[in-house]
Structure formats: structure tokens, C-alpha cells
Amino acid sequence: KAGVTQTPRYLIKTRGQQVTLSCSPISGHRSVSWYQQTPGQGLQFLFEYFSETQRNKGNFPGRFSGRQFSNSRSEMNVSTLELGDSALYLCASSFTGPKGGELFFGEGSRLTVL
């Protein structure tokens, strides 16, 4: 069974640009959540989607957005990139919706903003 796949794995952008990251969950998983991981801030929850609906959102500005498609694949978008957006962006999927279910993580997309 394929794991959670995130693309691209690495990308470099400049300030002011926008970026779209993709996450393909494990087959059958309907919940996808996104996280920003930085050395100073640890793991920060961005948002979670379940059956194409955003169910929860963390405390990030509106420049960070996401969506989920009918096949459960999810994308997140960051507009007007800032230097502070440089981070590892992790995606995780879950079968039951993450209340009690184990999260399965992808390897992440490492974004560098110059």
C-alpha cells in the first residue's frame, strides 16, 4: 500500500511569489492535515480537510490556504511568500478523521524563500 506522497520534495521561491504543494493520502484515507515545521517553532498545525471540507484551521494568515479534491488529494497554497515561510511542510492522512486515528505522514516539502 503506497504511503503519503508529497510533491515537490524541494523548492526554492523568491519573496512575493506563490507556491502550491500537493499531498496524495493513503488510499481510503479521507482526512488530510497540513503542518509547518521550523527549527524554532516546532510543528504548527495549518488546517485539516475531511471529505473536501475544511474541518479545522490553525492560526496562520489568510495567505495560507488549502483544498481537498473528491479523490482526497489535497493542495495547499501560500501566496505572497515571505522569508519566514521557509520551512518543511508536512502532510498527514488519516482513515477515520484524526480524532483517534493514527496520522500517517509524508516526507514533506521543503520550501526555501529567498
Partner 1 sequence: AQTVTQSQPEMSVQEAETVTLSCTYDTSESDYYLFWYKQPPSRQMILVIRQEAYKQQNATENRFSVNFQKAAKSFSLKISDSQLGDAAMYFCEAKNSNYQLIWGAGTKLIIKP
Residue 28 sits in the site that holds partner 1 (CB under 8 A): no
Residue 22 sits in the site that holds partner 1 (CB under 8 A): no
Residue 12 sits in the site that holds partner 1 (CB under 8 A): no
Residue 106 sits in the site that holds partner 1 (CB under 8 A): yes
Which three cell numbers mark 101? 486515528
- Answer for which of 64, 98, 109, 111 binds partner 1 (CB under 8 A) is 98
Q: Assign residue 65 a region (left: φ > 0; alpha: ψ between -120 and 50; beta: otherwise).
A: beta
| Of 68, 78, 86, 89, nearest in space to 25 by CA | 68
Binding mask 31-70 for partner 1 (x = CB under 8 A): --x-x-----xxxxx--x-x----xx--------------
CA dist 106 to 8, 25, 90, 93, Å? 11, 8, 6, 8
Which three cell numbers mark 31? 482526512
CA dist 15 to 33, 46, 79, Å? 25, 20, 10
Of 1 and 99, which CB lies nearer to partner 1 in the complex structure?
Answer: 99
Question: Interface residues with partner 1 (CB under 8 A)?
Answer: 3, 33, 35, 41-45, 48, 50, 55-56, 90, 92, 97-100, 102-103, 105-107
